[in-house]
Structure 1
Amino acid sequence: MKMEAHSPEEYMEQVPEERKAALHKLRQVIRENLPDGFQETMSYGMIGFVVPHSLYPAGYHVNPAEPLPFISLASQKNFMAVYHFAMYADPGIYDWFVGEYPKHSKTKLDMGKSCIRFKKPGQIPFDLLGELAAKLSPKQWIELYESKLKK
């Protein structure tokens, strides 16, 4: 499901009605828990929370014109997704999340390396995702990101 949105607000308007409340709450939880310095924007067709060029001029190595992504939210065809790039880069954060998930949800975790998928709005563990969003400051994310680039 590709949406042609130019702002997070426009993206939210295009989300299917049955997902709007859950995605709105998820967006709000992330915004409330992210450390200062991250910026909300559109990133790769999704709502993105990024390290802006003002804090990290080098940008994303895949496309330096883009700011460094950290968390993205998407409404895909069959699920809603949270992409948390530090889980891909840091096995400790990944393991923490996988270990905590059963304490917050009765559903089986549907996850890739950085993508957490939710097929039903009622399955989203908002508090846990808020904790995940708060795990790293922009400075810590930049340090982790750069440490993985150098390998």
Structure 2
Amino acid sequence: MTSKATTSEEYIAQLPEDRKAPITKLNNLIKKHMPKGLEAGIGYGMLAYYVPKSIYPAGYHCKPFPPLPFISLASQKNFIALYHSGIYAKKELHDWFVAEYPKHCNYKLDMGKSCVRFKKMDDIPYDLIEELMGKMSVEEWIDIYEKTIKK
């Protein structure tokens, strides 16, 4: 479900009531703990945290005009989705997250390549996500992106 919102406030205001508090909390947590150099905004109809063109002018390979995405947050039909490109691109980070998740949640990890799905709003592992935010710098993300994804 993509949104036509142009600000995070507008995005959150359009959410169903049961999603507003967890999305707001996740948005604030990510903005507070995201790697230095990222900017927050809207991208691809979601809350987005990206490498600005001032740091990485080449942008995203699929569509070079937007900035390089790193983390996104979305309210989907049946879950809240956290997309973290570092989990997809760096096996060690993926393996760390998968190993740590059961220590922070009562429910089984529901995860795609870079997408972590939270179906239970009362069991989102905010402390684990905070720790995840400090696991990769913008410089490391750009380096991994250029070596493994952009090619």
State the TM-score, normalized to the length of structure 2. 0.96
CA RMSD of aligned residues (A): 1.1
CA contact (8 A) 2:61 2:150 kept: no
Alignment of 1:2-151 (within 5 A): 2-149=2-149
Q: How many residues align?
A: 151
In 1, the alpha carbon distance for the partners of 2:18 and 2:110 equals 20
Percent identity over the alignment is: 54
Aligned residue identity for 2:144: L
In 2, the alpha carbon distance for the partners of 1:110 and 1:149 equals 24
- 1:150, distance to aligned residue in structure 2 (A): 5.9
Large movers: runs of 4+ above 3 Å: none
Is the partner of 1:3 in helix, strand or coil? coil
CA contact (8 A) 2:2 2:44 kept: no
Is the partner of 1:66 in helix, strand or coil? coil
- 1:39, distance to aligned residue in structure 2 (A): 0.2
In 2, the alpha carbon distance for the partners of 1:68 and 1:13 equals 26
State the TM-score, normalized to the length of structure 1. 0.96
Q: Deviations over 1:77-118 (max 9, x none)?
A: 111000001111111110000000001011100000100001
- 1:2, distance to aligned residue in structure 2 (A): 3.0
Change over 3 Å in CA distance of 1:149–1:19 after alignment to 2: closer
